Amino acid sequence: MRNNSYLDAVEPGSRFPSTGAILLVRLGAVGDVIRALPALDLLRRTFPDASVDWLVEERCADVLQDHPDLRRVVILRRKAIVRAASHLRLLTSYRELRRTLACLGEARYHTVVDLQGTLKSALLSRATGCPVRIGLAAGYSKESAHRFYSRPVDPGPDRISRVERNFRLLSPLGVDRNMHPLPRARLTLSGTHHAWAAGVLDSLAPAARPRVLLYPGTSRRQAYKRWPAERFGFLAGRLHDDGVQVVVAGGPGEEGLIRTVCEATSTPPGVVPPSDLRQLAAVLERVDLFVGGDTGPMHLAWAAGTRVLGLFGATDPVVNAPYDAHQRGHRVLYTGPDSRPYRVKGQQARRWMEAISLDEVHRACGEMLRGEA
């Protein structure tokens, strides 16, 4: 008899055992971890007495630190494991991985929910020893990850928001994804984060007028998602002429993009100094509009409650745009075809991104700042 038989009989509204410990697995990337936060909110509100842990890679862990809905954040130090293995320090690599696996095994989870659906995340879910492992069914998971789940879930149509797909992955637990108020992405920011952000904006954009943050970058391997950096500079100049305060931000390795933005206008925007994710979130809470492509900081702006103007051409906005169940507050400019693969890379993607005109971005900014979005 299967150990997860209680899932077969679960009905909507039924209660998860109050003593149960649940593990959520979403290792990365930053935007995907942020989009999984509403699922955590839904889980916690449905089962307030359960203990919830989260397995994540170290580069994304900052988003989850000090989160009140989590008992523990279990960090997979993937870079250290891979670095040691690449230098043939296999014992060091094994010990590092073993520490994480031991931590997972000692927790004795009642249920594991793999929100990622890759072979790596599925193997880690299996390594917990938990008999109840929920994940994406065949056709939705990658690398045959579904073979490692005791309860594969078909999330329905391909073209749904990743936030909504995460909700559907919780369906075997009987959660009500339509509860009110709607589940949200909660960030935990300290007074130190808020003080840092206030100091930055007081120095860069002190006047009491609208503030817009431009984010021209993406990860290097996803450069095909970028709108041309010089156009961000042209946009900054136009917004300045409109009486808007403009700041620009970027991550490590994006200094060249920021220079291009600043050099493209005679009124360069203020540059947000290097920051961690929660410092950037605190800055985003204090601006009126975020403008950028499909990248982690765009989802961070959404989680921070800031209106987003998303520039899309390389990826599908139905799947990746800021989740807004009531269609309020955010806007997407998209130039790709209606029917297309989930992601298009290379020169074709760049052409679609370049097809978004400066005029339409400027016009959309003005409308959103006037509350017409």
In angstroms, rounded to a whole number, what is the distance separating the alpha carbons of residues 132 and 111? Answer: 5
In a domain, 185, yes or no: no
Residues 232 and 91 in one domain: no
Instruction: Give the model confidence (pLDDT) of 83-97 as tens digits.
Output: 756 767 766 666 777
CATH number for the domain that contains residue 284: 3.40.50.2000
Note the pLDDT tens digit of each residue in 261-281: 999 999 999 999 999 999 999
CA distance 373 to 352: 23
* Mean pLDDT, rounded, for 124-139: 95
pLDDT in tens, 64-76: 999 999 999 999 9
Residue-level pLDDT at 208: 74
List the domain range (segments joined by +) for residue 332: 192-369
The 10s digit of each residue's pLDDT in 145-163 is 999 999 999 998 878 999 9
pTM (whole model) above 0.85? yes
Residue 196 and residue 317 in one domain: yes
154 with 173: CB under 8 angstroms? no
Of 127, 146, 173, the last residue of a domain is: 173
* Mean predicted confidence (pLDDT) in 44-49: 92
Integer Cα distance of 259 and 301 in angstroms = 22
Distance CA 258, CA 272 (A): 10
* pLDDT surpasses 80 at 57: yes
Residues 64 and 135 in one domain: yes
Q: What is the pLDDT of residues 159-176, one digit of tens each?
A: 899 999 999 999 999 888
pLDDT value of position 326 = 59
Q: What is the pLDDT of residues 186-220, one digit of tens each?
A: 999 999 999 999 999 999 998 878 999 999 999 88
179 in any annotated domain: no
**CA 205, CA 186: separation in Å to the nearest integer?**
26
Q: 268 is written with which tokens?
A: 């360069």
Say if 211 falls within a structural domain.
yes
For the chain, the average pLDDT equals: 88
Cα distance between residue 56 and residue 198, in whole Å: 29
Rounded to whole angstroms, the Cα distance separating 155 from 153 reads: 6
The verdict on 110 and 235 lying in the same domain is no
In terms of Cα–Cα distance, which of 296, 144, 276 is closest to 217? 296
Of 89-93, 290-294, 330-334, 353-357, where does mean pLDDT reach its minimum? 89-93
What is d(CA 166, CA 54) in angstroms, rounded to the nearest whole number?
A: 14
Give the span between the Cα atoms of 64 and 70, in whole angstroms.
8
Q: For residues 90 and 232, state if they share a domain.
A: no
Domain count, the chain: 2
